[in-house]
Amino acid sequence: MRVRSYATRNAMMTETGVSTHGFIEKTIYGPENDVFIDAALVDMYSECGCLDSAVAIFDRMRRTNIWTWTAIITGLAFHGKGSGALELLHSTESYGTKLNKVTFTSLLSACCHGGLVEEGLHLFYEMENRFFVVPRSQHYGCMVDFHRRAGHLEEAYEFIMSRPVDPDAVLWTLLGRSIVQSDDSSEDYLASSNIYASKIDGRRLRQLEM
C-alpha cells in the first residue's frame, strides 16, 4: 500500500510538473533562460524520477550558476549516479563556478551509497584543500559512514577524534549502528565496540539495540 501511494504521488507530481514546465515555456520569453527556474525544473524532474529530462534541461542551459550545478549534481547523486556526479564536479571549475557545502554533501552521499570509498575520501580532501569548503557535521557523517560500510570501525573513531568537530548524536548513532548490527565477534572488534560504547550514554545505546 505504501509503495502504491508513493507511486501515485510521484505520478501526480510528474504530471503537475510537466504542465507547469509547459506553461513556463509558453509564457516566459527572452534571449536567456532564467537560471533559477531552470534549477527548479532540474530539481523537480529529478525528484519525480525523470533524470533524463533533468539532464536534458541542464544541457540546454545558456547560463549556469551554483544553484543549477547543485541541482543536477544532487539529482545524479539521488539516483545513485555517483560517477556522473563526480565528472560534473570537475566541469564546474572550467565554468568558474564555486561549489558550496550543499553540493559536497550530495557528492559525498553519492559516493557513500555508490560504494565509491576511495573517491569519497579523495573528494573530502579536495573539498577542504582545493575548493576551500569548511566541512560541516553532515560531511563528517558521510566520512564516518564510508568507514562504517567498509567495516573500519577503528578508523571511523580515529577520524572523529582527529577532527575539530564535536561527535554529535548523528555521528555516534552511525557508529552505534555498526556495533549492534555487526556479526563480528573477534577480539579486535569487541575491543573497538567497548571503546565506542563507553562514548555513548547507556540510554542511547539501549535505544540503538531496540
pLDDT digits (tens, 9 = 90+) for 176-203: 665 555 555 444 444 445 555 555 454 4
Percent share of the chain, pLDDT over 90: 0
C-alpha 92: how far from its chain's center? Answer: 18
pLDDT at 181: 55
CA dist 183 and 112 (Å) reads 22
32-59 confidence digits (pLDDT tens): 567 888 888 888 888 888 889 889 989 9
Q: Identify the residue with better confidence: 5 or 138.
A: 138
pLDDT at 2: 37
pTM of the model: 0.62
pLDDT at 39: 85
pLDDT band at 169 (very low <50, low <70, confident <90, very high): low
Domain-wise residue ranges, the chain: 135-210
pLDDT at 162: 79
Residue-by-residue DSSP string for 12-39: HHHHHHHHHHHHHHHH--SSS--HHHHH
Residue-by-residue DSSP string for 167-203: --HHHHHHHHHHHHH-----HHHHHHHHHHHHHS-HH
SS3 category, 133: coil
Tell me if 159 sits within 8 A of 151, measured CB to CB: no
pLDDT at 30: 46
**Helix residue ranges per DSSP H, 48-152:** 51-60, 66-78, 82-94, 101-113, 117-129, 137-149
Question: What would the grid cell of residue 167 be?
Answer: 561527535
Select from 53, 102, 93 the least CA-distant residue to 73: 102
Q: Look over the chain and give the mean of its residue pLDDT values, rounded to a whole number.
A: 71
| Contact partners, residue 150, CB within 8 Å, separation at least 6 | 117
